[in-house]
Amino acid sequence: MPEAMVASSASEATRGATTQQVDVAVVGAGFAGLYLLNRLRKAGFSSVLLEEAGDVGGTWYWNRYPGARCDIQTIDYAYTFDPELERAWQWSEKYATQPEILRYLGFVADRYDLRRDIRFGTKVTATTWDQAAERWWLTTDNGASVSCRYCIMATGCLSAPKPPEIDGVKDFKGEVYFTGRWPHEEIKLAGKRVAVIGTGSSGIQLIPLIAEQAAHLTVFQRTPNFALPAHNGAPPADRIALLEGDRAGYREQARMSLAGVPWPQQMAVSWQLSDAERRERFETAWAAGDLVYILTQLWADQAVDVDGNTLLADLIREKIREIVKDPETAAALTPHDHPFGAKRPCLDTNYYATYNRPNVTLVNLRQEPITGITASGIKTGKRSLDVDVIVFATGFDAMTGAIMAVHPITGRDGKSLSDVWANGPRTYLGLTVAGFPNLFMITGPGSPSVLSNMAVSIEQHVDWVADRLIAMREAGLTTIEATETAQAGWARHMADCSTLTLHRLANTWYTGANVPGKASGVMPYTGGVGPYRTICDEVVSCGMLGFRLTGPNVPEQCNDGEVVRLQPDVRLVLNMLAEMNLPPIESMGAQGARDFVAEFNKSRPAGRPVGEVVDGTLPGADGPLPYRLYRPATPGPHPIVVYFHGGGWVLGDEQSDDPFCRDMCRRTGMSFVSVGYRHAPEHRFPAAAEDGYAATRWIAEHAAEIGGKPGPLMVAGWSAGGNIAAVTCQLARDRGGPAISGQLLVCPVTDCGFDRPSYTDNATGYFLTRSLMYWFWDIYCSPADRTDPRVSPLRGKLENLPPALVATCEFDPLRDEGVAYAEALSAAGAPVEQLKARGHFHSSLTMVDVVITGVAARVQMADALCRFAGLPPERKEGDEGVRPRSDSLAA
């Protein structure tokens, strides 16, 4: 360390230490720390990198157990910031070994002469924010403390090994090793009796190699994991050709992808594929030996829907049974307690086949838990096993462990990070924490990190942070801190994202469940690296949204707010629509708009299978109307829901809300009859209302004929269809039936007034615009008729109407009139449940397989329909964690 970089100051003297003064201190010399140091140095910041280990490498320095490899293909698991560096290094294998990755990181450190600013063998013991000096002060266990303007934790997500939590480890007289702290010297296992505890990625990589050496290997497995053959070998020629054909394009695709590896978005859903097609896709994936491929490329619903996931998990389970000869061992190795991908799946080489060896025994800890470790071996509930060596492959205190290992981290007003995170990590973007100015984390909790190719996520974070520091320096700003509002908004967005995938359904290190006493919740960002990147960029383009910035000679800046208020999938849909740059629907003319909607609907995923779909006609108010009946697969007769589609009384037909009708039919076990009522301009007011009533009456009278349960039925509708459903209830009351036991009104039109705040707040930008609503009204109904309750049910008599569920969406011009109708119905004595879908737009709840976060709302709607029909609520596997919570749906 150059002498010039060591200074003493009065305040530091009082701390009794020599202090190194730098602009930026970085903690950790892994992938993230090395790139940071390079960028910071190039940008002219004085920096020091503090590293506990004796050399660079981070997780790859410590995890040197036999078989340790990356499980993202190496051509993707590498730096991309310098094309020259990419050309200068050739990987020898598809999945490089730990020694090769460590050599690569050493090569990078040398190439950019990074070691001269790294203090090895130096553990950061604590860090404190000095408010007066606006600097962090870091104490270390070796040499000078550090005073810096910015402190960046590049400590890694999987670098703090978890204690084994098993009694008696100290009593054991044999050798003990931890995969996460493997010795540097060669360990000789030949002729020894070895125990391995743990079957995560580390155990699964290590076990086959130990089995080849040891006299006997006993594997202690608590939870079986899914593992896929890596088919390692030379880097695949097709991927190399793709990369070399267009290096920049390839890297950009990775950056904008979901997982940080450039595979396309899969569109086909499982139920569109035959068994044979699914099996063919699966066999291709099994042969490909690529985790990201099998996690993303088979069918679109595999990661988001329990049914789609089970189809894939069953195929993997079949493979395990094929490979492992002893059926009892095969059964013990087969995972059943989590969806595939919800717990980190593993890549293996001969893992399952290892259990066919005579010198390998599997101990199923679910049947005989470890009771303790003795001087000679391991005791379970059923037996004692003497061993010479115990290997703990028991994992890490992931994501937060290495950050919290610097203890305490004391921020503004003396607050300690461990207190602030006592109930789980809270961050803004996974990069910063409110109350901890000028402290950054690379791939911290709340960022995509471990759910992505870490190399891509690290580069994005490092670039984002370095660019901010440069911009702050240029603007004369010296502190940056996330606001509480922004951080709370990010927590909400994280929770919204976690309903998108199945990670919430497994107890894993993603959720903190592997560490006793750790607060539980999905820690990585599940919304994908591409969307995450655009959000980080949006924060900047919105004037550092959610950050407070100060400087000595400039006014404080704080553009406070939440960066994502839309549900994550709604955001994607709206961005996609915006990119299409469509002309306004109202400019297309009625027929043009109908053609457009028909074309648009073709691109939607097909709806899910139901028992039967029957098309027919029924008499409307003035001639026959088409209908489509969705019947559940269960034996009938079923309660009937008469359904009216959306489309502003102008667009759509009895098939246009097909995915929604199928979903609700499956969830409720009820028959849905979607009615093709007449449309304007050919048939103006009150045609649609009168058709709705006539159709409901006919269906009630012919319920048995169409396989329905006679007696009261229910009505439902979305948008203009919600309007027709509401009107039908009023007409049925006034015209002597039919009996209606409940009404489900989804974003209904209820009034002809356009002056409620939702009409102004959401006038543009959320697909259903104010001007489109004006157009619908003009086509359907002349101004003189608009106060008629048959089109403005809010203006009608509201007494003696059936119970209702009224669903409204936050970003919808129709929101407030829906709420007004619910309140008015309730005031008139009807039992009313309101569902206020936060972060959703007008079409959200009916776009079943596109807007997945609408599932909680659909569960609530299905429950309401069951209640109206006097049935218990339906339960569908996979709805766990998405049932409405008071905070999840409230606007």
Q: Which stretch binds ligand NA7 (CB under 6 A): 116-124, 392-400, 567-575, 732-740?
A: 392-400
Number of residues lying near ligand NA7 (CB under 6 A): 24
Nearest distance in Å: CB 49, ligand NA7:
23
Nearest distance in Å: CB 393, ligand NA7:
5
* Three-class SS of 448-488: CHHHCCHHHHHHHHHHHHHHHHHHHHHHCCCEEEECHHHHH
Nearest distance in Å: CB 351, ligand NA7:
12
Q: Which is nearer to ligand NA7, 33 or 161 (CB)?
A: 161
Pairing of strands 370-373, 135-140: unpaired
Nearest distance in Å: CB 32, ligand NA7:
15
Q: Which is nearer to ligand NA7, 202 or 723 (CB)?
A: 202
Q: Token pair of 48, please? A: 């020091």
Site for ligand NA7 contains 201 (CB under 6 A): yes
Backbone angles phi and psi of 705, in degrees to 5: -60, -35
Q: Across-strand partners of 175?
A: 389
Nearest distance in Å: CB 68, ligand NA7:
9
Q: Which is nearer to ligand NA7, 320 or 688 (CB)?
A: 320
Q: Which is nearer to ligand NA7, 139 or 380 (CB)?
A: 380
Nearest distance in Å: CB 69, ligand NA7:
10
Q: Token pair of 593, please? A: 């708009």
Binder of ligand NA7 out of 200, 435, 568, 721 (CB under 6 A) = 200
Continuous segment of H or E residues that includes residue 550: strand 547-551
Strands annotated E in 209-344: 216-221, 227-229
For residue 224, how many other CB atoms are within 10 A of its CB?
Answer: 21
Binder of ligand NA7 out of 452, 514, 730, 860 (CB under 6 A) = 514
Pairing of strands 671-675, 623-631: antiparallel
Q: Which stretch binds ligand NA7 (CB under 6 A): 218-226, 239-247, 306-314, 563-571?
A: 218-226
SS3 helix, strand, coil % of the chain, rounded to 5?
A: 40, 20, 45
Continuous segment of H or E residues that includes residue 11: helix 10-14
Nearest distance in Å: CB 507, ligand NA7:
7
Nearest distance in Å: CB 205, ligand NA7:
8
* Range 346-384 burial, b when 16+ CB lie within 10 A, else e: bbbbbbbbbbeeeebebbbbeeeebeebbeebbbbeeee
Q: Which is nearer to ligand NA7, 223 or 526 (CB)?
A: 223
Site for ligand NA7 contains 123 (CB under 6 A): no
Binder of ligand NA7 out of 95, 440, 509, 766 (CB under 6 A) = 509
Q: How far is CA 887 from CA 809, 839, 856, in A?
A: 14, 12, 12
Binder of ligand NA7 out of 38, 80, 199, 719 (CB under 6 A) = 199
Site for ligand NA7 contains 111 (CB under 6 A): no
Beta-carbon contacts of residue 492 (< 8 Å; ≥ 6 apart): 562, 887
Nearest distance in Å: CB 179, ligand NA7:
6
Q: Which is nearer to ligand NA7, 222 or 473 (CB)?
A: 222
Site for ligand NA7 contains 365 (CB under 6 A): yes
Measured between alpha carbons, how far is 583 from 581 in angstroms, rounded to an integer? Answer: 7
Site for ligand NA7 contains 74 (CB under 6 A): no
Nearest distance in Å: CB 50, ligand NA7:
23
Nearest distance in Å: CB 162, ligand NA7:
7
Q: Which stretch binds ligand NA7 (CB under 6 A): 3-11, 186-194, 387-395, 736-744?
A: 387-395
Q: Which stretch binds ligand NA7 (CB under 6 A): 308-316, 394-402, 750-758, 794-802?
A: 394-402
Q: Across-strand partners of 617?
A: 626
Q: Which is nearer to ligand NA7, 32 or 861 (CB)?
A: 32
For residue 610, how many other CB atoms are within 10 A of its CB?
Answer: 19
- In the DSSP assignment, the letter for residue 230 is -
Asked if 134 and 438 count as a contact pair (C-beta separation under 8 A), the reply is yes
Binder of ligand NA7 out of 15, 111, 123, 222 (CB under 6 A) = 222
Output the DSSP codes for 88-140: H---SSSS-BHHHHHHHHHHHHHHTT-GGGEETT--EEEEEEETTTTEEEEEE
Q: Token pair of 609, please? A: 């299978």
Closest residue to ligand NA7: CB criterion: 200
Closest to 114 (Cα-Cα) out of 184, 26, 181, 5: 26
- Which residue reads 């009224």 in tokens? 806
Q: Which is nearer to ligand NA7, 195 or 661 (CB)?
A: 195
**What mask, x for binding ligand NA7 by CB under 6 A, covers residues 298 to 337?**
----------------------------------------
Site for ligand NA7 contains 202 (CB under 6 A): yes
Nearest distance in Å: CB 144, ligand NA7:
33
For residue 101, how many other CB atoms are within 10 A of its CB?
Answer: 24
**What mask, x for binding ligand NA7 by CB under 6 A, covers residues 158 to 197?**
x-----xxx------------x-----------------x
Q: Which is nearer to ligand NA7, 345 or 632 (CB)?
A: 345
Q: Which stretch binds ligand NA7 (CB under 6 A): 200-208, 529-537, 543-551, 821-829?
A: 200-208
- In the DSSP assignment, the letter for residue 551 is E
Q: Which stretch binds ligand NA7 (CB under 6 A): 201-209, 623-631, 633-641, 725-733?
A: 201-209
Output the DSSP codes for 399-424: TTHHHHTS--EE-GGG-BHHHHTTTS
- Which residue reads 């370095």 in tokens? 466
Site for ligand NA7 contains 291 (CB under 6 A): no
Q: Let me know how long the chain is.
A: 891
Nearest distance in Å: CB 468, ligand NA7:
28
Site for ligand NA7 contains 344 (CB under 6 A): yes
Beta-carbon contacts of residue 509 (< 8 Å; ≥ 6 apart): 344, 395, 396, 398, 399, 515
Q: Which residues bind ligand NA7 (CB under 6 A)?
A: 158, 164-166, 179, 197-203, 220, 222-223, 344, 365, 370, 393-396, 509, 514
